[in-house]
Every structure is written in structure tokens, then in C-alpha cells.
Amino acid sequence: MSPSVRNIIAWILQALLAAMFINAGVHKLIDLDGTAKNFEGMGLPGVLATVVGVAELLGGIGLLVPRTVRLAALGLIIIMIGAVFMHATKIPGGIAKGIPALVALVLLVVVYLLRSRQAVRTV
């Protein structure tokens, strides 16, 4: 794959994921009380709702900044591993309702790999 095609694919994925995570983070923070209650209902501390909301918002922004793409993707990968785990174990509907989280996780890994230093060097 040529470097320009790799770059175009990466930017498209970054923009889509950024929009998704900025939206998710903002919605968590706007309804922080409801989000905290949801987290507590899953056995997690309510304060984690704030941490995840802020991390999703900042991670989404970070996906749009070339210097922070890899760090943002890595942080969001960690959050999405947690989300997939919670869907599989605690959230009603199970992993079937966690498909969007699983897809986001896979796409974040793709972005991380496309933007890795080794991928840039080998092209």
C-alpha cells in the first residue's frame, strides 16, 4: 500500500473515530449524574464516568492532532477494551449490544498501526 493511500485511510478513520468519541464524551459529561448511576449499576465507581467522559473527549480531539494520534489511540484502546469487557460481563444484551464498541476497538488498533513509526519507515 502506498504511503498516500495509507495516509488517506488513516485520516478517514481518525476523523470518524474522533467524531464518535467526542460525541460520546460530551454526552457522558452532559448527563454526568445519569452516566455515574449507570457506572455504579455495573459495580464501578461513579467517578469513573467523569474519567471516561473526559478521556473520550480528549482522545477524540487527540485523534485529530498528528503529534498525539498514537497516544490518543492507545488511551482509547484501553477504554474500549474495558467497554467490550463490560458488555460481555455486566451490560444487559451482552456482547451483541457491544458490537459498536468492538468495531471501534478494532478501528483504533488499525489507526494505531497505520500511524506507528515502523509502518512509516517501511513504506
pTM of the prediction?
A: 0.90
- Which residue segment(s) compose the domain that 29 sits in? 3-122
Question: What's the number of domains the chain is made of?
Answer: 1
Query: How far apart (Å, rounded) are the C-alpha atoms in residues 54 and 40?
Result: 18
Give pLDDT tens digits for 78-122: 999 999 999 999 888 888 888 999 999 999 999 999 998 655 555
Q: What totals of helices (H) and strands (E) does the chain contain, helices first?
A: 7, 0
Condensed to tens digits (0 to 9), the pLDDT of residues 53-82 reads 999 999 999 999 999 999 999 999 999 999
CA dist 117 → 14, 33, 41, 78, 112 (Å): 17, 40, 41, 20, 10
